Structures are given as C-alpha cells and as structure tokens.
Amino acid sequence: MSSQHIMNTYGRLPVTFERGEGCYLFDTTGQAYLDALSGIAVCSLGHAHPAIQQALTEQAGKLVHTSNLYQIPKQNELSDKLCELAGMENVFFSNSGAEANECAIKIARLYGHNNEIKEPVIIVTEGSFHGRTLATLSATGNRKIQAGFEPLVQGFARVPFNDIDAIKNVAKNNKNVVAILIEPIQGEGGVNVPADDYLKQIRQLCDEHNWLMMLDEIQTGMNRTGQWFAHQHNNIKPDVMTLAKALANGVPIGACLANGKAATTLQPGNHGSTFGGNPLACAAALATIAMMQTQEITKKAHSSGEYLINHLRSMLAEVPGIVNIRGKGLMIGIELERDCTELVAKALDKNLLINVTAQNTIRLLPPLIISRAEMDLLSDKLSAIIKEFLAK
C-alpha cells in the first residue's frame, strides 16, 4: 500500500481514497466514508465540486503558470475579491499556510526595522500552530514540533493563550515587540476558543503600542466559523491576516493580507515566490469564493454549526468522561478526560473520518455544505463510538 521511497514523515491510516463526492470519500474497494474533516478544513465545498472542476479545466486549457514576472489578471481579480471581503488593502500570494505566515513574520520584522527596532520580537501563544518551516515552527507553541530542529529562529516571545495580562506584562518589559501573531481559535492546539473580548483587547493593545495585529486565519478563515473570517465575530480588523487551507477548496494556495501601515512595509525586492498566485490556483480560489457566495455558505456554516454542536451536546449529555464540547461554526472540538487518539482508527472502521488534536480532543471540520441528514448520521456514528470508548 505504501512506498519505501516516500520519506517517512507521516503516520498514515491504512486506507486509500479514489474519488469523492460532496461529504463522502470512496476507497479503492468502493466503500463510502462520511468525511467530517475535509482534508483538515480544506475541502469546505466538499469533494469534486463541479464548479471547481470547471474552473480548473478551463484555466488549465489556457495557461497554468507564467511566473510573477508578468501581469496575472486572475491574481488581480482574487486580490480585489479578498480585500473586499476582509476590508483590507492588499495581498501577497503564497502556496501554503506556512508560507503565508512567513510573509507575515517578514512584514513584522521589516516594520520593526523601519521603526529603529533592530531586534524585533513577535508575541506568540502557547498551544499555537503556525506551520513547519523554520520560522513558523519557531512561532509554534508545541515543543514536539520544534524538538530536534534547534537552533530555533529567534524573535518570538511566548505567552499563554487567552491571557491578556500576560501580553500586558510583555508590553511592560520588552520594548522590542513589533507584532502579535495569533489564531482566533487555536486549531491544532485543541480547538481552543478564547473569551469573547480577547481579540478586541489585543486590538486595543496593538493600537496603544503601535504593534501589528497579525491573525493566522489559515484554519478559521473562509467561513469555517460562520463568518468569512473569524475575527469578524468581534468587529475588529487585523493589520495582517493569513489564509490558506480552504481558500481554493484543495488547490494549494496561501495568502497574506495587509492593511494600513502593514500594507506598505514590503517593497519591490523584499519578498517573492515562483508559483505564488499562479493562474491555476487563483482560478480555483475565485471559483471557491463565488460558490461560497451563491450558496450563502457564511450563513450555512453558522446555522449548521449551531445545529451540530447542540445536537452533539444533547446526544452526549450525561456521558461521563466528556470534559466539554466547544467551537464556533463548523469548527468543533469534543474534549475527553483521557487520551483518545485511537478513536481516529475506530471511526475509520465505522466509515467516519475524524481527527484528534492535543491527544484528548476530537476535532470536527466537516465540509460547510454538510446537510442535516449528514450531520445526524455523523452525530449518531460519533456518539456511539465515544460512548463505547468511554464505557471501557
């Protein structure tokens, strides 16, 4: 099933998917699986969406790549669209989330140097995940991801998540801070939802101290939480925002959006990418956004999220061993009292695709197009699996 010529970096499950349709994936024997993970918050419109397929084939028949040495109309169109949705000024396109965060980190550092701060520091949080490149793994708040790759990239100050006083403390003691980089809801860290006013208070601190507020919305963005971008729940605007995952429904693309003083920091020659924002990826992203708009996915993610979380809460009420069920929109975590990594394989046996983060939290990131019937099926299957596991 696997090749010894693939570098051994992933723990893969023993299943091979051949095709997909909506919220279902089909393996090589034709068995159907209900996908409650969407390729980790990527295929929000479901698998093999006809509009994405059409955009890809049309664009592939014209042009796949030209490089950023020339004008790319689809890139211009996509940047206009994203800036309109986010109320921000401009965009740099990359090929992945980690690369989008690299762009944000470079903006913050250059912004510091432009303001006579020679050793700029970016505040990051415990339990965060920002990617696997050297700078982004250094920003990540998980020792397992960093171990063995020292020396880490310097210039990050770490605070606990959801703790405003800790940020104020850093502000008092560290005059080199230039920015804060944070996920509105921590994804890999265990679907950690901060207090309602956390982002607003961070915005105020950033304004007070002239720091850039940089939001990693790679997982929370593109309607996952029931808003185009999770920070829109809080009526604030960041200076920098990174996107990737669901941006083109599975075609690799990342974006770093900037506003105000962050939008004019990078100048010609400061940053670049060969593939970034190529016609094919931009065509897929434009089709994704258009489809999300016509299908009113923002509203749908919001109402489906409420339905699913309430349904799960009522089905799992009174079950001992469940710490809580939390989330926003269709980004949902079910925390158990004990480690439950084995549930991923158990769910696979029952033809259900889920994920476990932070060892003890089941993470659900279903396609945003998921129907009521599919949510009911998901809840039935999952609560049976959880009850059986916790009864042991």
If you write DSSP's letter for every residue of 262-316 in order, what string do you get? GGGTS-TTS---SSTT-HHHHHHHHHHHHHHHHTTHHHHHHHHHHHHHHHHHHHH
> Which of these segments, 165-173, 212-220, 349-357, 364-372, binds ligand PLP (CB under 6 A)?
212-220
> Which of these segments, 16-24, 30-38, 181-189, 197-205, binds ligand PLP (CB under 6 A)?
181-189
Q: Does 219 bind ligand PLP (CB under 6 A)?
A: yes
Select the residue interacting with ligand PLP from 218, 262, 283, 343 (CB under 6 A): 218
Question: C-alpha 211: how far from its chain's center?
Answer: 23
Residues 311-350 binding ligand PLP (CB under 6 A) are none
3-state helix, strand, coil in the chain (%, to 5): 40, 20, 40
Contact 368, 300 (CB under 8 A): yes
The mark string for 48-87 relative to ligand PLP (x by CB under 6 A, - otherwise) is: ----------------------------------------
State which residue, 288 or 379, has the beta carbon closest to ligand PLP: 288
Residue 20: HSE in the Cβ half-sphere, 13 Å Cα cutoff = 24
If you write DSSP's letter for every residue of 217-269 in order, what string do you get? -TTTTTTTTSSSSGGGGGT---SEEEE-GGGGTTS--EEEEE-GGGGGTS-TT
Q: Does 159 bind ligand PLP (CB under 6 A)?
A: no
Other beta carbons within 10 Å of 229:
25
129 catalytic? Reply is yes
216 catalytic? Reply is yes
Q: Does 98 bind ligand PLP (CB under 6 A)?
A: yes
300 catalytic? Reply is no
Tell me the C-alpha distance between 9 and 338, whole Å.
26
Q: Does 102 bind ligand PLP (CB under 6 A)?
A: no
State which residue, 181 or 385, has the beta carbon closest to ligand PLP: 181
Select the residue interacting with ligand PLP from 39, 46, 97, 141 (CB under 6 A): 97
State which residue, 212 or 322, has the beta carbon closest to ligand PLP: 212
- Name the residues that contact ligand PLP, by CB under 6 A: 96-98, 101, 129-131, 183, 187-188, 216, 218-219, 244-245
